[in-house]
Amino acid sequence: MKIIIISNRLPVKIVEENNELKLIKSEGGLATGLGSLETKREKHWLGWSGMHITDEGQKADINKQMEELKFHPVYLTPNQIKNYYEGYSNSTIWPLCHYFYSYIGSNNNYWESYKEVNALFCEAALKIIEPGDIVWVQDYQLMLLPAMIREKVKDVSIGYFHHIPFPSYEMFRVLPERAEILRGLLGADLVAFHTYDYMRHFISTVYRVLGYECILDEVQLEDRIVEVDAFPMGINYDLFHDAILRPEVQEKAMELKEGFGDNKIILSVDRLDYSKGILMRLKGFIKFLKHNPEYHGKVSLVMIVVPSRDTVGTYAKLRTRINEFIGGINGKYSTLSWTPVYYFYRAFSFEELTAMYYLADIALVTPLRDGMNLVAKEYIAAKRDKPGVLILSEMAGAVIELSDSIVVNPNNSKEIEDAIVKALEMPEKEQLENLKKLQEIVSTQTVKQWATDFITELKSIKELNNQRFAK
Ligand code: G6P
């Protein structure tokens, strides 16, 4: 018996080296969580290869490398990438779930392609699913998949985890395909979210759109119940906590320290995304500079923006706006010896990132909406016993657990400004006390715990359904 993870992307990157395609495993949170899951079952992973390969020889070669890792690639055509990935997933569902109503784009091909690709994933999954397997579907790109699989295989446990916010009924109801999506999700035995709020939104939406009876966290279907629950995802705490003990991270930290000098460092790290509140954060920083001239020459904002979805129009526009904003700030305030904003538009290696976390005096994490936000947790873990302050948006799922940070409304640039001043002036003793409380939480609710809790609950639902609906 197996556990099969199904996600839009496989946790690998295909790179070309000397005319040959090679796989590089990317150790994201989910891959780590799954890797550390203690189970006798074989672990398989099915997902998009992330690359359009036309050469059949190269494809066969990649497939062989994938097979060794128990990865099962799904190949998408350029049209499917455009309409399913960039289109319905990232131009319709993503803005909808993040409450960016005016960013929702639609096109007749989007929904058709979304259905087609979910069916393609189903077809690929059916080739490997055997009776008794556990199938764990991840995220908003594959919301039709649970019901598609259930229709074809009966003796299988299906779980679904929604990594982004689930919006309130008032938002979700605008979606023309709302009923189909909900029916797709209810094909699972367990539908789970990061927070209790998202879970509540989902239950009320199911009731109001489909009229299904919901008793507490159970949706009652004719022949089974679907459990709805909240599992806050965590990180591999030890990996981040112990990073600075590695010589290569120490070396990076020394290099960076030399570059930034005695400046206090405010750090922000995000994927390029309008949901991350990057422009509002910059507005808060501008206000801080304007009203606190005593800090000029002493504080810099280090902004790391990881390129993402830049073929989607709203993302490309955001990139231009960020460039303009930062150009404006640095043009106005820079001196020969001080740069107010250091901007990096690229991914950082693990060594660079953890060295930055360790050095940063403040982490400024202010998404306008975020399912969870693991950067906040990584910063807390990586600080070890070095003082530091987390400023965290009240719109990030992580705030439920990390309320001992300085919590701000990310739409209020004055609050961001005040929070920066408060963090800069916070006595070290208080910083360390807060960090300790936060570290206790982040080190307990790890990604391993998250995956274990999810799978344990999924198994128990199957037993419950068997007992309740035994013929
Ligand atoms: C978010 C989503 C994930 C997605 C990731 C990267 O965290 O919840 O499902 O994989 O962003 O986005 P991308 O579009 O590059 O896969």
Beta bridge partners of 286: none
d(C-alpha 403, C-alpha 443), whole Å = 15
Q: What's the pLDDT at 260?
A: 93
Residues within 6 Å of ligand 1 by CB = 8-9, 139, 163-164, 308-309
Output the residue whose Cα is nearest ligand 1's atom 6: 308
| 140 Cα nearest atom in ligand 1 | 9
pLDDT in tens, 426-467: 999 999 999 999 999 999 999 999 999 999 999 999 888 888
Check if the interface score ipTM surpasses 0.90.
yes
Measured between its terminal Cα atoms, the distance across the chain in Å is 25
Q: Which of 5, 6, 7, 8 to mutate to test the pocket of ligand 1 (most atoms within 8 A of CB)?
A: 8
Q: Token pair of 178, please?
A: 């709302």
Q: Which of 271, 275, 375 to mutate to test the pocket of ligand 1 (most atoms within 8 A of CB)?
A: 271
Q: What's the pLDDT at 471?
A: 63
What does the angle CA 206 – CA 118 – CA 234 come to, to the nearest 5 degrees?
A: 65
Radius of gyration of the chain (CA): 23
Q: Token pair of 212, please?
A: 């299904």
- Least confidently predicted of 22-36, 248-262, 399-413: 22-36
Could you tell me the distance, in angstroms and rounded to a whole number, from the CA of residue 10 to the centre of ligand 1? 11
Task: Give percent of the chain with pLDDT exceeding 70.
Answer: 100
Q: What's the pLDDT at 292?
A: 98
Q: What's the pLDDT at 70?
A: 95
Q: What is the DSSP letter of 82?
A: I
User: Cα 290 to chain center, whole Å?
Assistant: 33
Is the whole model's pTM more than 0.80, yes or no? yes
pLDDT in tens, 368-401: 999 999 999 999 999 999 999 999 999 999 999 9
Instruction: List strand residue ranges (DSSP E) for 183-295, in order.
Output: 190-193, 214-215, 218-220, 225-230, 264-271
Q: Of 252, 257, 277, 447, which is closest to residue 349 (Cα–Cα)?
A: 252
What is the DSSP code string of 84-125? IIIIIIIIIIHHHHTT-GGG----HHHHHHHHHHHHHHHHHH
235 HSE (CA, 13 A, CB side):
23
Instruction: Give the mean model confidence (pLDDT) for residues 194-218.
Output: 96
Q: What's the pLDDT at 54?
A: 87
- Position 282 pLDDT exceeds 80: yes
Band of pLDDT at residue 17, cut at 50, 70 and 90: confident
Task: Give percent of the chain with pLDDT exceeding 90.
Answer: 88
Could you tell me the distance, in angstroms and rounded to a whole number, from the CA of residue 353 to the centre of ligand 1? 19
Instruction: Give the mean model confidence (pLDDT) for residues 264-291.
Output: 98
Q: Token pair of 174, please?
A: 């605008």
Output the residue whose Cα is nearest ligand 1's atom 14: 309
Beta bridge partners of 391: 364, 406
Output the residue whose Cα is nearest ligand 1's atom 8: 163
| 89 Cα nearest atom in ligand 1 | 14
